[in-house]
A = this chain, B = another copy of it.
Amino acid sequence: MKLSLIGLLAAALPSAFALWPIPRTLTQGTSNTEASVVGITVEGKSSAIVASAVSRYQQIIACESFVAPADYKRGIVNTTGSLSGLTVCIQGSDETLDLDTDESYTLDVPVNGAATLTANTPYGAVRGLETFSQLVTANGYGKAILNTPVHIEDAPVYPHRGLSFDTSRNFYPVDAIFRILDAMSYNKMNAFHWHVVDAHSWPIESKSIPGLHQNGAYSAGMTYYYGDVQRIIQYAKERGIRVIPEFDVPGHTYIVSLTKPEIMSCPNKKNWDHFAAEPPSGQLNIAKPEAVDFTKTIIAEYTKLFPDQVFHLGGDEVNRNCWTEDPDVQAYLAAHPGEDVESLLVNYYTKVHDYLATTGKTAYSWEETLFHSKYVPDNSTILQVWIDQASVQKALALGYRVVSSSADSYYLDCGHGAWLPNFDGNSWCDPFKSWMHVYNYDVAANVTDPAQKKLILGTEVALWSEQTDEHVIDARLWPRAAAMAETAWSGKSDATGHVRTTGEVASRLHEQRFRMVGRGINAEPMQPLWCARNPGGCDLPPS
Interface residues of A (CB under 8 A from B): 72, 168-171, 199-201, 218-219, 268, 270-274, 278-280, 415-424, 426-427, 430-437, 440, 465-469, 471-472, 474-475, 501-503, 506, 517, 522-531, 534, 537-541
Contact = CB atoms under 8 A, between A and B. Distances in A.
B471 A525 contact: yes
A526 B467 contact: yes
A270 B436 contact: no
A519 to B, nearest CB: 12
A201 to B, nearest CB: 6
Given A415-B417, A421-B526, 5 more contacts: A170-B525, A280-B534, A417-B431, A421-B436, A426-B432
Contacts of A278: 538
Nearest 9 pairs between A and B by C-beta? A417-B434, A422-B503, A421-B506, A169-B528, A200-B530, A471-B522, A472-B475, A424-B436, A200-B528
A213 to B, nearest CB: 15
B469 A419 contact: no
Contacts of A538: 278-280, 419-421
A273 B525 contact: no
16 contacts: A169-B529, A170-B525, A200-B529, A200-B530, A201-B528, A218-B530, A280-B534, A417-B434, A417-B435, A418-B434, A421-B527, A422-B502, A422-B540, A424-B437, A430-B431, A471-B474
Contact of A522 (B418, B472, B526): B472
B419 A527 contact: yes
Nearest to A480: B417
Contact of A525 (B468, B525, B528): B468
A432 B420 contact: no
Contact of A467 (B272, B466, B525, B539): B525
A51 B328 CA distance: 66
Contact of A475 (B270, B466, B475): B475
Most buried by B among A169, A471, A530: A530
Majority DSSP secondary structure for residues of A touching B:
loop
Contact of A201 (B279, B416, B523, B529): B529
A275 to B, nearest CB: 10
B421 A503 contact: yes
Q: How many copies does the complex hold?
A: 2
B419 A432 contact: no
B171 A529 contact: yes
Contacts of A427: 432
Contact of A431 (B201, B219, B415, B440): B415
B432 A417 contact: yes
A541 B280 CA distance: 12
B422 A501 contact: yes
Contacts of A465: 528
Contacts of A501: 422
Contacts of A170: 525, 528-529
Nearest to A516: B471
B421 A466 contact: no
Nearest to A464: B528
A416 B435 CA distance: 10
Contacts of A169: 528-530
B416 A434 contact: yes
Nearest to A269: B541
B467 A421 contact: no
B471 A517 contact: yes
Nearest to A273: B541
A522 to B, nearest CB: 4
Contact of A218 (B437, B472, B529): B529
A186 to B, nearest CB: 16
A426 B431 contact: yes
Contact of A440 (B218, B424, B436): B424
A72 B426 CA distance: 30
A465 B529 CA distance: 10
A101 B423 CA distance: 36
Nearest to A517: B471
A201 B423 CA distance: 39
B279 A537 contact: yes
A430 B426 CA distance: 10
A390 to B, nearest CB: 21
A109 to B, nearest CB: 29
Contacts of A430: 431-432
